[in-house]
Amino acid sequence: MNKMKPTRYIRSLDGLRGLAVLAVIAYHLNFPWASGGLLGVTIFFVLSGYLITNLLVIEYENNNRINLKNFWIRRARRLLPAMFTVLVTVTAWSTLFARPFLERLRDDFIPALLYYSNWWYIFQDLSYFEAMSTPSLLTHFWSLAIEEQFYIIWPLLIAGAFLCHMSKKQMVKLTLLMALLSSLLMALFYSSTTDPSRVYYGTDTRAFSLLIGAALAFIWPSQKLSKTIPASLRRSMDIIGAVCLTAILVMMVVVNQYDGFLYRGGMLLASLLTAVLLAVLIHPASKLGVFMTFKPLTWVGERSYGIYLWHFPVILLTSPQISTSETSLVTIAVQIALTLILSAISYKYIENPIRKGAVGSFYAKIQSRGWSIKQTTYRQWFTVGCIALLVTVSCIGLSFKSIGALQPEISSAGSATISEQSSDMPDADIKENSNKETTPAEKDEQPADEKVADDKVKQPQKAPTDYNITIIGDSVMVNVEPFIKTHFPNTTVNASIGRQLHEGTDLIKSMNQNNKLGDIVIIALGSNGSFTSDQLSDALEAVGSNRQIFLINTRVPRNWENIVNKRLEEAADHNPSVHLIDWYSTSSGRNEYFANDGIHLTQTGARAYAAMIAAEVQK
């Protein structure tokens, strides 16, 4: 019979968990000072790698074997109840009150349930960073999938290594070698010209964080650390830990998801810093460990799993579909409070009881005939009824096609359809929208009593026909094209669904080579995702210094909005021939400008956008 000696509970690790999950929440709330909050997941990975490996090593040392079945049962008892509760509750709520989210939920439910969400998103080419359609309430399950895959594979490898009589030193070397290989794969697969979601989601490219934590477990076993160490050594240890903690916090503030540094060594550095910090916090003599047991932080850390599960759907479901002003502090406070309340309820009434054997005890009672249906209390009946209702509603939602899904209003006539251009690459025939006869559904006539543009935007006089303007845009510009033509009839507009800046650069180069660029070039890109400063410089260089360039910033309810607008502003500040057109400020507080997705424009918005461009160009 296997006997597991009780392991030392390390309260400071709850503090670290609390810090990690708060960083992730701040990132998903789009706080500008938390652009690197996604590193909270890296902290979780290192922690998981350490704790799981530490448990496996202790079990082998105590029993000379590892009971894999018991290990996986313990993991399932810890993880599945809360996960299943969130899946069912979110699906039921979406079925009843938020049907636009059901389309993505239906696709993502099974991958989330079976822990392969990350590979599902990779093979479906679904970006973590650049989702223009209705976002998925289960996107954040990608990290749970990676951890669960690790929980399945890693114990088998550890058990196999012990069976082969490998020494701990050999295991450390092999583990670090695999970690190095994983980090190299991330660096090799990353490309600054494509969305980084493949390397962000991949088990192969993220495993190094888990493996670094695992290597630490072999080197620094928690049960073999002595509280009695020299004071000078303790001080040095705490200083090193504090430096690592500070470095991690700085990275969370200064990096963002599009920084090449993050994928070419940044996440590896964050993992190593976390491992060193972890080693300090684990040590029983550490004063920094005492500091990290700050009660509110450890309270959050104890419930961090539930908080992580709940926070993302809560944020999405409580955020307005269209918002042209900063998210209010009240909304943020409600979102955080709801997340904490739901996770606290889950922790107290679902996770803890099941982890402590409530289901097993109940089953044992039935087996021994020590229970009958007459003994069921009203509270138990109520609980069973709620579960049955949630499951039933969820099944209905997943089984029948949802109605009322959000669709972007992106056709020039105000409908929800658009014909994508056949090609916009250099070696293809470029079909410019100006060659098509496109007119708005309501023409450009307007009742005298209808105010079209923002008060901040003055409607300019109609431009002379000798204005030679080229506009490169994405699907937002498709709405605007017919209204631009009322100001500048000979404007060439080339707009395409989902276009990124680097694709626009290729198009600009091709048009320039074919003498199809106007004297004025307007670039309206950034709604579909961010770009690097180098990519923007390449686009400006492709236009040439002999032309006037106008960059239009963006208003998009996604976490790349601030990054895009900052880089556009910097480019305009440093280049005398580059001018910034401030759509972000112009559209502030004007919800009527936007379609249901908060990105594409209504006809009123398209008119205002065109008027803004005309006013800036004619200055």
For the stretch 335-389, pLDDT in tens is 999 999 999 999 999 999 998 876 666 666 666 655 566 666 777 778 788 889 9
**Superfamily designation of domain 433-617:** SGNH hydrolase (3.40.50.1110)
CA dist 362 → 2, 154, 354, 389, 573 (Å): 24, 32, 10, 22, 69
d(CA 525, CA 539): 11
For the stretch 281-312, pLDDT in tens is 999 999 999 999 999 999 999 999 999 999 99
Split at pLDDT 50, 70, 90, the class of 410 is very low
Of 473, 464, 459, 468, give the one whose Cα is nearest residue 551: 473
Give the mean pLDDT of 155-168: 96
H helices present in 403-456, as ranges? none
- The secondary structure element, H or E, covering residue 147 is helix 141-163
Q: Which residue has the higher pLDDT, 54 or 479?
A: 54
The reported pLDDT for the residue numbered 326 is: 75
Q: Which residue has the higher pLDDT, 345 or 534?
A: 345
The angle that helices 68-97 and 141-163 make with each other, rounded to 10 degrees, is 170
- Structural domain boundaries in the chain: 11-399, 433-617
- The secondary structure element, H or E, covering residue 550 is strand 548-552
d(CA 299, CA 277): 20
Q: Is the pLDDT of residue 440 over 50?
A: no
Q: Which residue has the higher pLDDT, 251 or 430?
A: 251
Q: Catalytic positions, please?
A: 475, 597, 600
d(CA 551, CA 72): 54
Q: Is the pLDDT of residue 468 over 80?
A: yes
The reported pLDDT for the residue numbered 404 is: 42
The reported pLDDT for the residue numbered 532 is: 86
**Residue 570 near residue 537, CB atoms below 8 Å:** no
The reported pLDDT for the residue numbered 372 is: 62
Q: Is the pLDDT of residue 317 over 70?
A: yes
d(CA 223, CA 319): 46
Strands 469-473 and 492-495: parallel
**Residue 517 near residue 508, CB atoms below 8 Å:** yes
What's the whole-number average pLDDT of the chain? 87
Q: Is the pLDDT of residue 434 over 50?
A: no
